[in-house]
Structure 1
């Protein structure tokens, strides 16, 4: 007797380890292969809706179905008729045209909507012999569906924030001033290209605060008004505003002009630290 509860837990455990250890972009391909293996199915694939009339096969097993394109309208009509709930086909009708031959020799199938919107995708799993869709099996499928939806939502959020981060990083790297951010957690810091050049760091982007602080100390040691800078630093770190603007660092090296330095506190729900701005 098949232990469907154990298979569902197996799916959760394996996708949980993948979620932590590997890149989210390959999660769905791994998950569909895992579903096929756990359910002992003959075919498994993702059908992604690209637009109102087009659906494309992704992450298919067998792989020769990958990138196949079909009309999405009949599939969406089928999903609407079932209220976007999981569809259990105990017997695939010979007249069924929604999947236009994608199911091959399968005689039974399960259609699993990943999202509740027709603009996303479904997972299709098929068997070449009759499959009993008892209560245990359906509970297993529902657990798998919820887990897939959870991870895909996380991946969409992660990819969105990655795109936002890349966009703002590109903007900050083009600003002519040297920008340095040091997080109060003591573990993270960031510099743009100008700051990396000024502080002679390995490159822009994430840097350890200890490395940034040492580089800033080395820069300060190259000034001719070190005593004044020290006095201003004491005032900075003891003032209620915890900020300073137009702080002059007179550089002794001819290749580096006088620097106008600002230090501003950054406090949000997600981030707390200091932003340093060096203007030449």
Structure 2
């Protein structure tokens, strides 16, 4: 019985082959872009999509791992610790829609979430930390990319390209990493907003009155779609872009790098 329990726990923590394939595609696309092998535009698309999917898996894993530490012992049996994207909520909401948002608008919007049995977790602070763990992954992912791009780690003037008459140019890998960093920054900013259904609201929800939580609950399923509509069709999108570019400026990254990355990403144009 002891061995069976040990084997089961080992399986619950075993990294999914699907995640390993995504991570391998991310690394392989980055290597191809850095070495000038293959089609740059397809390479940037694969690098960004694979990197974005990897970050989504890590985002949901962070929620799950923090919930396990907080007291929800059912996390492992649900497969949340395997980094398998097929285990995280609804595949359409968790992964397909966020990728479509990236393709349509060049912004990073969070997807669905893992199902956490909140009644197993006591203490408002624990609940807030569980919600904050996901966006923190996006922040860390963004900072790493921004430091590497700003430090010139991906620069290669022999491969530098420019688009749409821009004076500045960037190597494909640097441009791809800059665009992926942009997605991570926008995802972190948007997901930390106190909008029902998003992690920002999950952080503050435990501190609200029961009456307020009951009144807000019916709007939670529509929070992400409403936010996307605001970003896509209103001044909110420009504010988000300006704030993200100010963060890029802190790392001395030319704004054209991200824009070139987005142009390369849209290989079908």
TM-score of the two chains, using structure 2 as the length reference: 0.27
Higher strand proportion, which one?
1
Question: Relative contact order, CA 8 A, sep 6+: which one is greater?
Answer: 2
Give the number of the structure whose alpha-carbon radius of gyration is greater. Answer: 1
TM-score w.r.t. structure 1 length?
Answer: 0.26
Q: Which has the higher helix share?
A: 2
